[in-house]
Each structure stands twice: as C-alpha cells, then as structure tokens.
C-alpha cells in the first residue's frame, strides 16, 4: 500500500486540476455565449426581470394559478412534498386544495379539475401547467378581469408550447409567460 | 400515439444506437488501439502520468490492481473529509454556506467516493461551490474507477493464461480522459445552451409578479449535471436533483440527461464483446439485461400514467397521470422511465420524487436496485452481472453434468465461494439494515418520529429504500426519510463502503484466478454461454436470488400499500 500512496496523491491532484479546474473553466467559457451568459434565462417586462424557468407562486384570482409547491416557491431551498400516495394527511391536503379551487371557480365541475393543479411538483418550482389546467381557469380570469373568455382562450393557445418537434413529450404552458401576456392585454 | 410514450421510445432507441459505436470506441481505448481522439489525449495522458509520477507500462496482477484502487480511493476519502468539514472558511463560498458536521461529512464523502451519491444534505444550502467542485471531481474519478476495474476483468477474460492484467493507473486515466471527459463536455454544452446555468455567481434576488421577494440559487450547474448523469453518480447540484428547472430545464435537456444514464452502462457490454471478440456473448448479455429492464420499466410507466387511485376517488381527473412530485414539462411517462433507468443502473438522480410515486412503481424502482445488474453502474454493473454468470455457469453445469467452464476456464470451489458471498452480501446488507432500523423505530416511535414522513407500509418502504439505495450504490431516496441523523449517516455510510468495495474485490479476484488457469479450448463438451438458453438460465438465477431474498420485504412495503389502496 505504501508504494501506492504517493502516486495516488499526486495523480489525485492532477485530476483535481483537470476535472474540477480546466473542465469547469472550459464549460464556463462556452457558456458565456449561451443566453444571458449562462446565468439562467430571463424575461423582462415593465422594468422587472424574472427567471423564465423558475416557477413563481400565483395565488391571486386575477392570475392563472401555478401548481401547489411544498416549499412555497422558495428558489433557494427547493423540494417536493415527498408524501406517499396513500398518506391520509396528504390526501386530506389534496382534498382541501380541491375544495378551495371549487370555491374560487364555482363554474368548474369537480371532475374537470386536473390533478396537477392540486398536487405539488417535485422541485416546488414547476414553471408549467398543462393546457387543460389553464383552460379550466379561463372563466374565472375572464370574469375578474372583465374580458371576453375567447380572448383568454386565445392567449392560452398562443402560449401553448407544443411537444418537442411536435412529437415527443408533453404539451404545456409557462404560467409566468401566460400571466405576463395577460397583464399586457389592456 | 401518445407523445409522452413516443418520447420514451425515442430515448431508448437513440441510446442503444449510440451505445453500439461507443462500445467499440471504449473497447479500442481498453485495447490501446488508435482512435481519432489520440491527437488530443496521447499528450494529455502523458502529462497526467508525468505529473503523477506513474509508469503506465508497469504490468500488474489482480492483487496489485486492487491495492492501487483501494489506496487511491482512501486518498480521495481523506481529501473529501477535509474539504467538507472546512468549507465555511475556504474560498468559492458566495452564499456563505456552513461546513458539514463530521457524521454528515463521513456519509457524503463515502457516498461520493463510492459512486453512490446518496445525499443527506441539500445542495443549495449545504455546500459551497468549492464543495460542489470537489464532489464533481469524485463524480469523474469514481466513475473512472469502476470503468477501469471493469476493463481489468475484460482483460482477464481473454483466451489465454496470464498473471498480468495491464496497468491500473493507465486504464483509470484513459477511462476518465478518453471516455468520460469528451462525452461530459458534449452533454454539458447541450445543457448550458438550454437554460441550465453555468456561473460562479451566487444567489440572485427576484421580485415576482405578485411582488414576493425570492432568492434564486445558481452555480456551475451544467458542468456538474453532465458528469452526474454520465458516471452513474446521480448526486444533484440542488436538493431535488433533476426535477429542479435549473438542473433540467426542458424536454430536450431531459432527453440528454436520461440518455446519459444508460449510455456508458450499455456501451460497456458491447465493449466487452469488442475486447474479447465475442459479439454474440455481448448480444446475449445485452438481451438478458434488456428483457429484465423492460419488465421493470413498462409496468412502471403504465402505473404512473394511470394515476393514483386514492386521488381518482376524490372525483377529479388525472389526464397527466400521478402528478405529485412530478414536473409538467416531463410528464409521468418520462418520469417513470427515468425512475427505472436510474435505479437499474446505480445512478440515483431523479426527475420526479420517488417517495410520491404509486406503490407498484416504488416496488419496481426498489427491484431495480435490488438486482442492480440490468445494465448497472458504469463498470460495476457488468461486474455484478459477471457474478450472476458464474453462478449460472455452475448451476447449469450441475444440471447437464458437465464441468462448469466459462470462456475456456474451469470454475471451481474457490471461485464459487467468492461468487456466493458476493451474491448474498447485497441482500444481507439491505435486509439487516432495514431490520435494524425498523426494530429501533418500532421500539421507540416517539424518539424516532422525525425519521418517517409517511405512516404505515410506506414508512417501512422509506427505510427499505434507503438501505437498498446505499447497498446498490445508487443514491436516490424516498426523500421523505429524515436521514441527516447520526444513525442514518453512519449506518448508510458503512453499507455503502462494504457494498462498493467487496463487489469490486470479488469479481476481480474470480477473474484474476481464472485468468491464471490453464486455457481449455472449446470442444463438443463445452457449455455454450452465448446462447439464448444460457441467457434464460442467467435470467432465472437473477430472478431466484432477487425474488427469494427480497419478496418478503417487498410484501411488507409496496405490495401491502398497493392492496391498501383498494380496501
């Protein structure tokens, strides 16, 4: 073992220099050419800057709700609920979310509520909802903002992000972008 | 067809298509044949050896290989402990994160050096950027360790009688620089140009549309995530791993990351075929692994897409399937697919919370780790499979009354003993660990109340999962488990150590002993190991070991939970 230790230490230091140092620097260098110099994609509107991919808490009725979050959209301490599928406390929480949703959206039938609107995401920062989850909220938005429901639905269609190449993955909506376009209407 | 399913099929098809040429390339690297990248890597490797003070031409026997591996791993562990317990005052700490407690640093160091990446901390608040970069180093070189030692076994399996099996340091450096590094650069660039941050700046403050103030953690994420996925490491930059939009920002990055999990493990099988010039054997092994993988994967995807029965009973709709702990941009099919990928290999990264998955998916992820050889971790997955091959050769030899032989070498009592011990070690560590923690919890549920995030059967599954994950060197978790306590840090740390090094020592010893035996050319009396019949035999041995050892524990956890859904 003794004869191995010295080369082991020296080789480790070389690896440290190369993989922690040079590799990181190389990727960092290329990332300077990426959107926003690799500091995360941003959107600016009305003088405010937002991270496009980091979901935000939307709980006011005049905005499309984002998904529930186990960490209250804390982007410095993200996480999921880690509740098991049969946990009674968890099921009670979901039931409460359904009830709250129905109070705020009296036009919607219970069977129309998609589960992602009442379940927490894995990161607690999910920026997306499904198209269905947006449409189920359009009556409320139209009423509270005093605009035509078809206008709201048109916005939803404009903001729909198709699956990759139209073929792979889910169809979704970025809640932040949808709500910003809603604020832009007027 | 459903676009979510199409996405999964595309990911699997592409990864197999890429793994075949990559396997040939890896084989060339092991054989020291010329490749296109030699121009860059020949001088680079020379520099590594010169600065490291290593003679890469020195031939080693199997014992010398193991000594070299163990001593360099010891050095990594010590450096890791030093850095993690002193991060607070060391440089590159823009968010002023604290140092780790000794038991957490022990767990984390063992975890990353053994290629497990079990994380009892959360990256945003538990590590400085220096800590992250040191862990990223282990992600490269612990994966390189596995690939290199697998190469040693390939060399030992060649048709000849020999004591010497190449130079460990040379194979190790070649694995890191020629295999892991170039692919990591490609993946990191794909991520960096699709919204994954790559910056040394600390947290940013953002005022949301509803005027909340939110701190946003950033960091050198793209570089880290690429090697995390490729080296079957799995330790996330952020707490919730690749569910985090900064670690995995869209479906394209999700595809790149998912494919990175399987790429090298599958390529290693084809590399074996190339090194030994036994393509048919490689395809037989690939076939067995694929059937096993699909048997775990398909029901998981179906189960997640069907949703949670308890939620369906509340009268709402689940068009996207079971969405607790999942992200809309991936959907439930790609999440279940990732879950089985990451547990079959010893990766352990997640793009959805396994704790919240439906009971049957929970069971299949557990089974993936319990079997731990359907593709398996980089290098070590093949070593696990090698043990099952030795067992199957012996059992089939007994059944047909032929001398058990594998690739022209007689398998005798000593090799069988080693193989049996290694095959039984994994169930022993998992079941004994789970039994101990269950005993403690049942004895004093108030004292240990913070352990479990869920009651009943699911709580038991959380403990079973933690030990399975440690013993499989996987690193994923039913993360509801309150695991940053001395008990979990130390017990999981010890399990990871034993489950990493013994299953490396065992197969290398067997291969080394076999290599030194007389080579017997194939004859009419030889049991053919590259046939479908033998493949079926290996599959039977794997199922027997897994089913007999783990079925009772699975019954108490996920199976009981599944039936409790329909009371």
Residue range B183-230, pLDDT digits in tens: 999 999 999 999 999 988 888 888 888 888 888 888 899 999 999 999
Average per-residue pLDDT for chain B: 91
At B59-103, the pLDDT tens digits run: 999 999 999 999 999 999 999 999 999 999 998 888 888 999 999
Residue A186 has pLDDT above 70, yes or no: no
* pLDDT greater than 70 at residue B117: yes
B75/A110 Cβ within 8 A: no
DSSP B355-409: GGS-HHHHHHHHHHHHH--SS-STTHHHHHHHHHHHHHHHHHHHHHT---EETTE
B119 in Cβ contact with B475 (< 8 Å) = yes
The model's confidence at residue B397, banded by pLDDT at 50, 70 and 90, is: confident
- Measured between beta carbons, which residues in chain B are less than 8 angstroms from residue A121? 243, 323, 325-328
Q: In this complex, do A115 and B240 lie within 8 Å of one another by their Cβ atoms? A: no
- Strand order from edge to edge, sheet including A172-174: A128-129, A172-174, A160-161
In the predicted model, is pLDDT for residue B498 greater than 80? yes
State the pLDDT confidence band at B174, using cuts at 50, 70 and 90.
very high
The predicted pLDDT at position A97 comes to 94
pLDDT band, very low/low/confident/very high, at B1 (cuts 50, 70, 90) = low
Q: Which positions 11-50 of A are in contact with B (Cβ < 8 Å)?
A: 11-16, 18-20, 23-24, 26-28, 30-31, 34-35, 37-41, 48-50
Shortest distance, CA B320 to any CA of chain A (angstroms): 8
Q: What is the pLDDT of residue A1?
A: 57
The pLDDT tens digits for B312-345 are 999 999 999 999 999 999 999 999 999 999 999 9
Q: What is the mean pLDDT of the segment spanning A84-103?
A: 93
Residue A28 pLDDT grade (very low, low, confident, very high; cuts 50, 70, 90): very high
Percentage of chain B modeled with pLDDT above 70:
100
Q: Would you call B319 and A168 a contact, using CB atoms and an 8 Å cutoff?
A: no
> CA-CA distances (angstroms) from residue B414 to B64, B115, B152, B408, B460?
20, 29, 20, 17, 38
Cβ contact A82–B355 (<8 Å)? yes
Residues of chain A with C-beta less than 8 angstroms from the C-beta of B221: none
Is pLDDT at B303 greater than 70 in this prediction? yes
Chain B residue numbers touching A123 (CB-CB < 8 A): 238, 240, 243-245, 327
CB contact (8 A) between residue B137 and residue A30? no
Distance CA B11, CA B8 (A): 5
Q: Which ipTM did the prediction report?
A: 0.93
Mean pLDDT, to the nearest integer, of B466-483?
Answer: 88
For the cut 60, the answer to whether the pLDDT of residue B280 exceeds it is: yes
In this prediction, residue B109 has a pLDDT band, given cuts at 50, 70 and 90, of: very high
Mean predicted confidence (pLDDT) in B484-495:
90
């Amino acid at each position: 073992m003794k004869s191995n230790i010295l080369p082991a230490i020296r080789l480790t230091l070389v690896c440290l220099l190369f993989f922690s140092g040079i590799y990181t620097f190389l990727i960092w260098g290329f990332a300077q050419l990426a959107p926003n110099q690799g500091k995360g994609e941003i959107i600016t509107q009305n003088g405010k800057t937002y991270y496009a991919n980091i979901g935000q808490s939307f709980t006011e009725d005049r905005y499309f709700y984002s998904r529930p979050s186990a960490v209250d959209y804390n982007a410095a301490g993200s996480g999921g609920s880690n509740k098991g599928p049969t946990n009674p406390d968890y099921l009670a929480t979901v039931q409460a979310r359904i009830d709250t949703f129905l109070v705020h959206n009296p036009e919607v039938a219970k069977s129309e509520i998609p589960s992602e609107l009442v379940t927490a995401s894995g990161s607690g920062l999910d920026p997306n909802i499904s198209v269905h989850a947006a449409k189920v909220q359009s009556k409320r938005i139209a009423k509270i903002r005093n605009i035509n429901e078809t206008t709201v639905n048109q916005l939803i269609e404009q903001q729909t992000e198709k699956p990759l190449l139209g073929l792979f993955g889910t169809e979704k909506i970025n809640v932040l972008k949808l709500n910003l376009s809603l604020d832009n209407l007027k | 067809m459903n676009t979510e399913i199409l996405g999964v099929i595309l990911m699997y098809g592409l990864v197999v298509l890429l793994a075949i040429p990559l396997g040939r390339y890896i084989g060339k690297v092991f054989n020291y044949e010329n490749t296109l990248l030699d121009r860059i890597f020949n001088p680079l490797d020379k520099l590594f050896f010169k600065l490291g003070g290593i003679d890469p031409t020195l031939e080693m026997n199997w014992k010398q290989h193991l000594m070299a591996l163990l001593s360099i791993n010891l050095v990594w562990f010590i450096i890791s402990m030093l850095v993690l317990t002193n991060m607070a005052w060391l440089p590159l700490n823009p968010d002023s994160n604290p140092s780790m407690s000794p038991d957490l640093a022990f767990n984390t160091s063992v975890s990353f050096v053994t290629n497990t990446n079990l994380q009892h901390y959360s990256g945003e608040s538990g590590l400085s950027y220096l800590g992250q970069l040191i862990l990223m180093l282990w992600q490269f070189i612990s994966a390189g360790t596995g690939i290199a030692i697998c190469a040693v076994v390939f060399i030992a399996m060649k048709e000849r009688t020999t004591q010497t099996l190449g130079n460990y340091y040379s194979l190790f450096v070649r694995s890191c620089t020629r295999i892991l590094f170039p692919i990591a650069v490609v993946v990191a660039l794909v991520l960096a140009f699709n919204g994954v941050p790559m910056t040394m700046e600390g947290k940013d403050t953002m005022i949301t549309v509803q005027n909340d103030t939110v701190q946003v953690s950033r960091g050198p994420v793209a570089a880290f995530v690429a090697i995390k996925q490729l080296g079957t490491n799995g330790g996330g930059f952020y707490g919730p791993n690749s569910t985090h939009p900064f670690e995995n920002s869209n479906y394209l990055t999700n595809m790149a990351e998912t494919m990175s999990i399987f790429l090298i493990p599958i390529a290693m099988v084809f590399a074996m075929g190339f090194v030994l010039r036994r393509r048919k054997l490689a395809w037989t092994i690939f076939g067995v692994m694929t059937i096993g993988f699909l048997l775990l994967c398909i029901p998981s995807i179906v189960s997640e897409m069907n949703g949670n029965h308890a939620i369906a009973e509340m009268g709402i709709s689940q068009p996207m399937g079971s969405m607790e702990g999942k992200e809309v941009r991936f959907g439930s099919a790609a999440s279940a697919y990732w879950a089985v990928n990451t547990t079959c290999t010893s990766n352990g990264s997640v793009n959805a919370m396994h704790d919240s998955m439906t009971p049957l998916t929970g069971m299949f992820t557990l089974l993936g780790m319990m079997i731990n050889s359907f593709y398996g971790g980089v290098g070590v997955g093949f070593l696990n499979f090698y043990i099952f091959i030795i067992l199957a050769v012996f059992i089939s030899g007994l059944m047909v009354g032929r001398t058990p032989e594998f690739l022209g070498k007689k398998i005798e009592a000593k090799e069988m003993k080693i193989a049996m011990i290694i095959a039984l070690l994994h169930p022993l560590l998992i079941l004994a660990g789970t039994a101990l923690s269950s005993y403690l919890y049942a004895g004093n549920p108030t004292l240990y109340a913070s352990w479990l995030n869920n009651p009943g059967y699911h709580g038991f599954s959380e403990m079973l999962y933690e030990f399975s994950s440690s013993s499989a060197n996987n690193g994923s978790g039913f993360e509801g488990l309150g695991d940053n306590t001395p008990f979990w840090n130390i017990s999981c740390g010890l399990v990871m150590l034993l489950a990493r090094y013994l299953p490396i020592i065992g197969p290398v010893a067997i291969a080394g002993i076999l290599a030194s035996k007389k080579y017997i050319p194939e004859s009419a009396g030889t049991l053919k190991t590259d046939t479908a019949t033998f493949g079926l035999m290996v599959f039977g041995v794997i199922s027997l070991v897994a089913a007999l050892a783990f079925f009772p524990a699975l019954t108490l956890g996920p199976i009981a939970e599944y039936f409790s859904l329909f009371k």
